[in-house]
Amino acid sequence: MRVAFVTPRYGTEVMGGAETAARLLAEHLVSECGAEVEAYSTCALDHVTWRDELDPGESVLNGVRVHRFRSAGGRDRAFYELDGRLRLGPRHATRRESERWVELNGPVTPDLLEAVRGSGADVVAFYPYLYYPTVFGIGSVPMPSVLHPAAHDEPALYLPVFRTTYASADALCYHTVAERQLVQRLHAVAERPQIVLGLGVGDNAGAGRPGGEVLGIGDRPYIVSVGRVDDHKGSSMLAAFFRQYKARRPGPLALALVGPVATTIPPHPDVVVTGAVSEADKWDVVRDAQASVSASALESFSLVVLEAWVQGVPVVVNAACPPTREHCERSGGGLWFGSYRELEALLDRLLADPALRRELGRRGRAYVERHYRWPVLIRRYERFLETVVARGRRQPSPSVLAADPA
Amino acid sequence: MTGAAPPEDAPAGHGPDGASDDGAPDDGAAAAFLASVMAEIDEEAHRRRRELPARLERELDELFLEHAPMGNRQGDMSAALRMVDASVFIDPVVPVASQRPAGAVVKKGLRSLNLWYIGYVTHQVSKFATAVSRSLHLVDGQLQELRRLVPPPSPVPVVAPGDATSWWRPIVLDALGSGDGRVLHAACGDGWLVRALQERGVDAYGVDPRPDAVERAELDGTDLRAEEPLPHLRSVESFSLAGAVLSGVVGGMGAGERAELVALVSDRLRSDGVLVLHSLTPAAWFDEGAPVEADLAPGRPLRPATWGHVLHGWAVETHLGPSADDYLVVARR
């Protein structure tokens, strides 16, 4: 089976959930299923500017043949004015306005789409729904298409242009049930073949160093939050809540924020901000944590949650984040908070009850073993792609296209 | 370090671990375990509700809500209103701190010069926002009153959905086993009918609202999903289904749900589409041996002939089961 992935950025240097997910699926299809996989992407690393930073042309990355194309247009300055206007009432935007929004958001990649159309692939996977390559590509390829939306509840999701995007998909692949519910609330795609897949998790890749040593805090107990330190990811909120917690509960407990820093966190003696760390250090830090906290309300899957469970570490998530909360509810491996008071009561309970921590971690690990180990997951994905190929290319019904206002 | 081995001591106050044979937690057990722990934590959080100064707690709540998308709060109107109330006042006195020498003085001068103008504008905006906020509070109050008056809808139970040995299986396979196009089965259980249809080359898939009913089949790669039939049909494209089999779900539907079902299948089925309904008879529904779900359902089953009236304009044929406890309706437009 020949599979083509279309994603606006591709590579190990790319920070981004959807792009990383696309790369991991592509690589595991090659290594575990023997599929012939190509990736069609831009030369960009930055999803704001879409500046060409990598060389165009062909290369091979971990068994995947990568075709890179220069962008004819990155994010235009006019985008911000239009975005500001449309996000107030995205459902009421015209189709032309929302197409313009997609073009101004970038990356504009007609060459990439021309190459995909002529690729001869058996099936094309578009990842995620939001950008030009998917919006203008998914309806124009001659082969069956799979849409990996990676959708959040964000204003853009309501723009009319995406009705055609979803209607043009022959099949859909979701990260979580919550994502499927969100998409189906907005788009009539429930009858399409689909799968709730998620992503696979590898084994503990730690080097065996004590987490406290990596963090430079010795034997102090700590909770950890892994991922970009960013206001949008809830990092500032978590740090503020933790400062309040420590004001009421003095003691040795520390908070480690592990990941590249996009938002400055006010210094505090009990808050450690590491910046980007190696994979080994990340796994070591998580392994020795009392709990792993995902404070973000904007996750579409969250590998971080699953990686904590691989090591039997309980997780704490934002109650307003349906995907991470779904992981907790299905597994029984984590708890959630919807206010400072809830976080305080939750941490008090968790830190005082080692048996509860172990039980949560055990349930989380069993959940990962059942659903998210690569060999299991990638075979499901391969079988799914085979059924999509067997069904062939379907076009969206005229009724869906006619429903879009001009 | 948090250990990797299973716990030797179970956490106090929790039930059995609920792991299934392969060691994986099942959703029901996970839900019960979590409900117990979260109830304890919620109770404790509630007990502490006046420990923090009210203003500090409000600031912390607003900080949380700032990063929680409205759509993710599952209809939490009070949280949305708190956000609105927190942003009603537009402050005309802009901050003047600056990292540049004399920057603060310049900014302060500009602020003083413009304050009469900005203040006038922000006063109008604040007035408008206050009026909107008051209106929303009125709507919220009326919604709460409505909720008190109108009981929440009971879920439609799955009652006797059939299995691979059901007498009506060959009739369904005959009715749907030859056409092309997508065929839906609800409630599909472990996918017994979906697989039988697929073996005949039918592009079938299934949904089932019962927890855990489809999980293993999902892992096996069959297109089965844990979904309620009505919400599922709402998200199906018009005229996209070649057939729909509804077994075990129409009997307990209330009148409103049944009316919506008929409207939805009329729109979602192609003009040559086939609708198959399986239900207990009213007599079996009220029999002493009926499943408990029958008592708890919002509605009761129709007599077979009544479907001919409900599906007005369809060609309806009915088949009574051998024990006269259940029946099958096959409807074509």
Q: Residue B278 domain-assigned?
A: yes
pTM of the predicted structure, to 2 decimals:
0.83
- Residue A396 is given by DSSP the state P
Q: Tell me how crowded residue A321 is: count the other CB atoms within 10 A of its CB.
A: 28
**For B14, nearest residue in chain A (alpha carbons):** A356
Let me know: does B194 contact B185? Beta carbons within 8 Å: yes
Provide the CB-side half-sphere exposure for B278 (13 A, CA).
25
How many residue pairs from chains A and B have C-beta atoms closer than 8 A? 203
Verify whether the Cβ–Cβ distance A311 to B30 is below 8 Å: no
ipTM for the predicted complex = 0.82
Q: Burial letters for B115-146: b for 16+ Cβ neighbours within 10 Å, e otherwise?
A: eeebeeebeeeeeebeeebeeeeeeeeeeeee
Let me know: does B161 contact B248? Beta carbons within 8 Å: yes
CA distances from B139 to B76, B78, B87, B235, B325 (A): 14, 11, 19, 28, 48
Per-residue pLDDT of chain B (333 residues; tens, 9 = 90+): 333 333 334 444 343 333 443 334 445 677 788 899 999 999 999 999 889 998 898 889 888 888 776 655 556 677 778 778 877 888 888 888 888 888 999 999 999 999 999 999 999 999 999 999 999 999 989 988 998 898 777 788 898 899 999 999 999 999 998 778 999 999 999 999 999 999 999 999 999 998 778 877 766 778 999 999 999 999 999 999 999 999 999 999 999 999 999 999 999 999 999 999 999 999 999 998 888 888 888 899 999 999 999 999 999 999 999 999 999 999 998
According to the model, what pLDDT value does residue B300 have? 92
According to the model, what pLDDT value does residue A379 have? 93
Q: How long a stretch of residues is chain A?
A: 406
Specify burial of residue B280 (Cβ count, 10 A radius: 0-12, 13-18, 19+): buried
Show residues of chain A in contact with B33, CB under 8 Å.
Answer: 332, 359, 363
Q: Residue B216 domain-assigned?
A: yes
Distant-in-sequence, close-in-space partners of A20: CB < 8 Å, separation ≥ 6: A14, A303
Cα(B25)–Cα(B298) distance, integer angstroms:
32
Show residues of chain B in contact with A376, CB under 8 Å.
Answer: 219
Quick check: helix, strand or coil at residue B46? helix
Q: Which among A190, A194, A141, A208 is positioned nearest to A168, based on CA atoms? A: A141
**CA A204 to chain CA centroid, nearest Å:** 20
Domain that holds residue B225: 169-332
> What backbone phi and psi angles, to 5 degrees, belong to A186?
-110, -25
Verify whether the Cβ–Cβ distance A356 to B34 is below 8 Å: no
Cα(A238)–Cα(A295) distance, integer angstroms:
6
Let me know: does B322 contact B330? Beta carbons within 8 Å: no
DSSP letters along A249-285, please? S-SS-EEEEES-BSSPPPPBTTEEEEES--HHHHHHH
Quick check: helix, strand or coil at residue B206? strand
Cα(A235)–Cα(A304) distance, integer angstroms:
14
Show residues of chain B in contact with A194, CB under 8 Å.
Answer: 223, 225
Let me know: does A36 contact A74? Beta carbons within 8 Å: no
The two structure tokens encoding residue A357: 């921590």
Verify whether the Cβ–Cβ distance B12 to A353 is below 8 Å: yes
According to the model, what pLDDT value does residue B72 have? 54
Cα(A82)–Cα(A106) distance, integer angstroms:
13
Q: Burial letters for B288-301: b for 16+ Cβ neighbours within 10 Å, e otherwise?
A: eebbebbeebbbeb
Cα(A310)–Cα(A372) distance, integer angstroms:
10
Q: Residue B87 domain-assigned?
A: no
Q: Residue B295 domain-assigned?
A: yes
Cα(A21)–Cα(B208) distance, integer angstroms:
29
DSSP letters along A130-164, please? SSHHHHTTTTT-SS-EEE-----S-GGGGSTHHHH
The two structure tokens encoding residue B18: 């609920």
Most A CBs within 10 Å, among B9, B27, B41, to test the A interface: B41
Choose among B2, B61, B184: nearest Cβ to A339.
B61
The two structure tokens encoding residue A181: 């519910």
Phi-psi region of B226 (alpha: psi -120 to 50; beta: other; left: phi over 0): beta
* Interface membership of A166 toward B (CB under 8 Å): no
Q: Residue B221 domain-assigned?
A: yes
Cα(A96)–Cα(A82) distance, integer angstroms:
12
Most A CBs within 10 Å, among B64, B66, B195, B214, to test the A interface: B64
In chain A the domains, ranked by start, together with CATH numbers, are 2-200+374-397 (3.40.50.2000), 211-371 (3.40.50.2000)
Cα(A300)–Cα(B69) distance, integer angstroms:
13
Show residues of chain B in contact with A184, CB under 8 Å.
Answer: 231-232, 235
Q: Which helix (H) or strand (E) holds B221?
A: none
Q: Residue B27 domain-assigned?
A: no
Choose among A184, A196, A366: nearest Cβ to B25.
A366
Per-residue pLDDT of chain A (406 residues; tens, 9 = 90+): 999 999 999 999 887 778 989 999 999 999 999 999 999 999 999 888 999 999 999 999 999 999 999 999 888 889 999 998 898 889 889 989 999 999 999 899 999 999 999 999 999 999 999 999 999 999 999 999 999 999 988 889 999 999 999 999 999 999 998 899 999 999 999 999 999 999 999 888 889 999 999 999 999 999 999 998 998 899 999 999 999 999 999 999 999 999 989 889 999 999 999 999 999 999 999 999 999 999 999 888 889 999 999 999 999 999 989 899 999 999 999 999 999 999 999 999 999 999 999 999 999 999 999 899 999 899 999 999 999 999 898 865 545 455 554 4
Place of tokens 């939750």: A346
Verify whether the Cβ–Cβ distance A391 to B203 is below 8 Å: yes
Q: Tell me how crowded residue B58 is: count the other CB atoms within 10 A of its CB.
A: 14
> What backbone phi and psi angles, to 5 degrees, belong to B221?
100, 0
Q: Tell me how crowded residue A181 is: count the other CB atoms within 10 A of its CB.
A: 15
Q: Tell me how crowded residue B308 is: count the other CB atoms within 10 A of its CB.
A: 17
Show residues of chain B in contact with A154, CB under 8 Å.
Answer: 69
For A214-268, write each residue's pLDDT tens digit: 999 999 999 999 998 998 899 999 999 999 999 999 999 999 999 989 889 999 9
Q: Residue B183 domain-assigned?
A: yes
Choose among B3, B72, B240: nearest Cβ to A397.
B240
DSSP letters along A177-221, please? HHHHHHHHHHSS-TTS-EEE----B------S--HHHHHT-TT--
Verify whether the Cβ–Cβ distance B236 to A191 is below 8 Å: yes
Show residues of chain A in contact with B42, CB under 8 Å.
Answer: 342, 345
User: Which amino acid does the sequence have at B129?
Assistant: A
Would you say the C-alpha torsion B247, B249, B250, B256 has a positive or negative sign? Answer: negative
Cα(B3)–Cα(A379) distance, integer angstroms:
30
Q: Residue B327 domain-assigned?
A: yes
Verify whether the Cβ–Cβ distance A359 to B42 is below 8 Å: no
Cα(B224)–Cα(B194) distance, integer angstroms:
9
Look at chain B and report how many structural domains it folds into: 1
Cα(A274)–Cα(A7) distance, integer angstroms:
30
Domain of residue B275, CATH code: 3.40.50.150
The two structure tokens encoding residue B136: 């929303």
> What backbone phi and psi angles, to 5 degrees, belong to A245?
-60, -45
Cα(A218)–Cα(A379) distance, integer angstroms:
43
Cα(B301)–Cα(A194) distance, integer angstroms:
32
* Interface membership of A196 toward B (CB under 8 Å): yes
Q: Tell me how crowded residue A345 is: count the other CB atoms within 10 A of its CB.
A: 22
